Amino acid sequence: MTVENSKVEEKLETAEEITIEKATDEESTAGQPEQDTSSEEQVVENTTDWQGKVDALANELAQAKDHMLRAQAEVQNVKRRAQQDVEKAHKFALDKFVESLLPVVDSLEKGIESTEQAEGSHEGIKEGMELTLKLFLDTLARFSVKPVDPEGEPFDPHFHQAMSTVPNPDVEPNTVLEVFQKGYTLNERVVRPAMVVVSKGS
């Protein structure tokens, strides 16, 4: 009987210990819900703060990208304008020089006309002047200088200068009837307009 009583007592002690442990665990966990709630609220607040910072940084990044793209576009525009200016400088650098040479061409043409109207034989002089004129015009052509001789063509105010208008029912109005003086272009740009007589309606 003594052995059985001791066993019973041990079981009772074990049961009491288990009961005490459970009670202790319940007491320790009784206050935890409030702590968990407050920590969750802090997490939400921290997340909101970080999201605001991320949005602000994303906005600043977008603005920086926009400024960069605008700056790149401006640099490209400046570069393109500079290239165009250089090309124009190369193409039209001889503008004034060509203009100063044109009276020499006019003089040679007038000299050839005068030999045709003069009495006597001037074939040698005429031939020499024609060769000189041809050489001169060929040289100008190598530098993209071309004559404008629009007789019989429609009047174009970009390339022609009307000295007078004459009624002529045989041709369409605004037709070039006569060229007083040839014009010239340099790379398709007018150096000197052709001086012309233009027809007008009756």
Q: What is the pLDDT of residue 93?
A: 83
Tens-place pLDDT, residues 30-44: 554 454 556 666 766
Over residues 118-128, mean pLDDT: 79
pTM for this predicted structure: 0.58
Spans of all domains in the chain: 47-93, 94-143, 145-202
Distance CA 72, CA 64 (A): 12
DSSP sequence for the chain: -HHHHHHHHHHHHHHHHHHHHHHHHHHHHHTHHHHHHHHHHHHHHHHHHHHHHHHHHHHHHHHHHHHHHHHHHHHHHHHHHHHHHHHHHHHHTTHHHHHHHHHHHHHHHHHHHHHHHSSS--HHHHHHHHHHHHHHHHHHHHTTEEEE--TTSBP-TTTEEEEEEEE-TTS-TTBEEEEEE-EEEETTEEEEPEEEEEEE--
For 176: left if phi > 0, alpha if psi spans -120 to 50, otherwise beta; the answer is: beta
pLDDT higher at 35 or 162:
162
**Block residue for tokens 């629009």:** 150
| The pLDDT of residue 124 | 83
List C-alpha distances in Å: 59 to 43, 72, 82, 188, 198: 24, 20, 35, 51, 67
pLDDT above 70: residue 15: no
Report the side by side order of strands in the sheet with 145-148: 145-148, 183-186, 189-192
- Nearest C-alpha neighbor of 185 from the set 150, 155, 152: 150
pLDDT at res. 145: 93
pLDDT grade, residue 11 (50/70/90)? low
The segment with the largest mean pLDDT, out of 27-36, 53-62, 116-125, 153-162, is: 153-162
pLDDT in tens, 78-102: 999 988 888 888 778 888 899 999 9
- Classified by CATH at the fold level, domain 145-202 comes out as Nucleotide Exchange Factor Grpe; Chain A, domain 2 (2.30.22)
- Give the model confidence (pLDDT) of 163-184 as tens digits: 999 998 888 899 999 999 999 9
